[in-house]
Structure 1
Amino acid sequence: MDPLSIIGIILAFGAILGGNLLEGGHLGSLVNGPAIVIVLGGTLGAVLLQTSPKSFVHALRLLKWVFVPPVTDDTVQIKKITGWSTLARREGLLGLENMITGESDFFSRKGLQLLVDGNEPNVIRESLEVEMNTRLERDLRASKVFESMGGFSPTIGIIGAVMGLIHVMQNLTDPSKLGSGIATAFVATIYGVGLANLLFLPIAAKLKNIAMNTHTGRELVLDGIISIAEGENPRNIELKLSGYTDDPESIVK
């Protein structure tokens, strides 16, 4: 669980709602059904129009990363790769065959399988790079779905505001209808700008950051697998991969 995401959402919306209360407003003034329909419906419709079904579904799947990101520990991964290297030097590459079934990460399993099959280092690199880059591109496209939502929602909010003002202008002779029209106009703008800057754009940025971190983790595995294929010394592999960690000295020692 990522506590920063939860704290961020609570703090962001709490500041907006709390400030409204401090100014003498009340929560009911920020609740407007037509404005919600206009902003959320219009934003979702625009995103669906420009996004492929696969990218949209993948974006929904990755949404859980905001609160439960993939757990990666580069130090543990380096120790694991060093252990593979030691085993390969002692028993040969075929000795890694039993490690494949016990590995939970698909990318690592694929790399080990390519090693056990006796492929050349350049073949292994090409195969893993295709897998790695394809996953990164797919994850970045998913993050852009929320980025697009952040771009559309303020504009849709303005459309809602204009619609509310049109409603007001059409009912100038009926004062009882002026209040609801003006409320829709202003609240729709708040919804559009608020959702974009408090939810959609931060979610897009977080997913992109997690995707890049995951990609870096796969690069670590790739370099480790290639080093094993080239027969490098386990200690040298450990020192090389230590550059991926935030504290390389802890591994070098």
Structure 2
Amino acid sequence: MDIATISGLVLALTVIVVALILDGGSPAELFAAPAAIILIFGGSLGATIITSPLSLVLKLPKFIAQAFTVRKFDSKGTIDLLSKLADKARREGLLALEDDSKKIEDKFLQKGISMVVDGIDPEQVSAILETTVAQMRARHKHAMGFFTAAGAFAPTFGIIGTVMGLISVLKQLDNPGALGEAIASAFLATLWGLLTANLIYLPIAGKLKIKDEEEARDRYMQMEGILAIQAGENPRIVRDKLNAYLPPSEAKGEEEAGDKKVPAGNAERAKA
């Protein structure tokens, strides 16, 4: 589970409940108008579904799960693997990587190494991998757009709910004793509209954007390594290139590890 997502959600809910209690209210009051809750969730999701293709709507549970889970990507392990493949390619040739490519679990990386082994032109390899990343980001963008749109619709449906509630209030002007509760219920719709937009929809969209940027960075790092291997670059240079994609603290440790792992012969060639 993504601790940051869970912690942020728990903190926000806690603050809301505490603030409500300090104002003399009760958390149960948030659920005093179930019709408003149904209107906000149903209306905002329904309006957003209208703007989205069915294929995207069917994948919503997957996208929501991504916001609450940590994507496992071993950047250091990938750098080690690409550095080793670069060393082997320089010593034995690109064809020697055929067996290694079949053992790679990452489909994107496996595809890139396989194209290099097959002798595909570097420009074509780059173009194919670039297109793969672009299509991946386009799918992610659609998911982010869905939750962003829902975050825009929710407050509007909150206002609609409040207006509907006030219409009901106006019908009870001859009963002053019931006006207070009716007005409070009406404004609960606005509250739920703002809560769902700023506590659910927009935060999920923001989290998906961060995960998209992280995955794109990882893919570009892999692509950089694949093209460097195809160009026959020194393993040390390959490692240095890929370390540039890591945070400074991680890159420093990776460089120190690389100094120990690069064979003596390769280290001498790097210095030369």
Q: Give the alignment's TM-score, normalised by structure 1.
A: 0.94
Match of 1:252 in 2: 255
Deviation at 1:203, TM superposition (A): 0.9
Cα distance in 1 for partners of 2:54, 2:164 equals: 30
Alignment pair present for 1:18 and 2:21: no
- Of all paired residues, the percent bearing the same amino acid is 36
Deviation at 1:87, TM superposition (A): 2.1
Cα distance in 1 for partners of 2:182, 2:96 equals: 73
Match of 2:259 in 1: none
Within-5 A mapping of 1:46-61: 46-61=47-62
Cα distance in 1 for partners of 2:53, 2:70 equals: 24
Structure 2 letter corresponding to 1:21: I
Cα distance in 1 for partners of 2:104, 2:174 equals: 73
Within-5 A mapping of 1:90-169: 90-169=91-170
Q: For the Cα contact (< 8 Å) 1:136–1:211, is it kept in 2?
A: yes
Cα distance in 1 for partners of 2:223, 2:93 equals: 19
Q: 1:101 to 1:184 in 2, by over 3 A?
A: farther
Structure 2: stretches of 5+ with no match in the other structure = 257-272
Structure 2 letter corresponding to 1:252: E
Deviations 1:142-194 (A, max 9, x none): 11111111111011101100100001112222456545532331111110001
Alignment pair present for 1:79 and 2:114: no
Deviation at 1:58, TM superposition (A): 3.4
Match of 1:242 in 2: 243
Q: 1:49 to 1:180 in 2, by over 3 A?
A: farther
Please identify, of 147-156 and 241-250, the stretch whose mean Cα deviation from structure 2 is larger.
Answer: 241-250
SS in 2 for 1:173: coil
* CA root-mean-square deviation: 1.6
Deviation at 1:118, TM superposition (A): 1.1
Structure 1: stretches of 5+ with no match in the other structure = none
Please identify, of 238-247 and 72-81, the stretch whose mean Cα deviation from structure 2 is larger.
Answer: 72-81
Structure 2 letter corresponding to 1:23: D
Deviations 1:84-123 (A, max 9, x none): 1122223322222222332221111111111121112111
Alignment pair present for 1:6 and 2:6: yes
Q: For the Cα contact (< 8 Å) 1:47–1:145, is it kept in 2?
A: yes
Cα distance in 1 for partners of 2:55, 2:177 equals: 47
Deviations 1:10-69 (A, max 9, x none): 100111011111222112211021011111111011101111122333343122122213
Number of equivalent positions: 253
Cα distance in 2 for partners of 1:62, 1:106 equals: 20
Q: 1:179 to 1:37 in 2, by over 3 A?
A: farther
Q: 1:174 to 1:89 in 2, by over 3 A?
A: same
Structure 1 letter corresponding to 2:7: I
Q: For the Cα contact (< 8 Å) 1:5–1:66, is it kept in 2?
A: yes
Q: For the Cα contact (< 8 Å) 1:120–1:229, is it kept in 2?
A: no
Within-5 A mapping of 1:19-38: 19-31=19-31, 32-38=33-39
Rg larger in structure: 2
SS in 2 for 1:244: coil
Structure 1 letter corresponding to 2:16: I
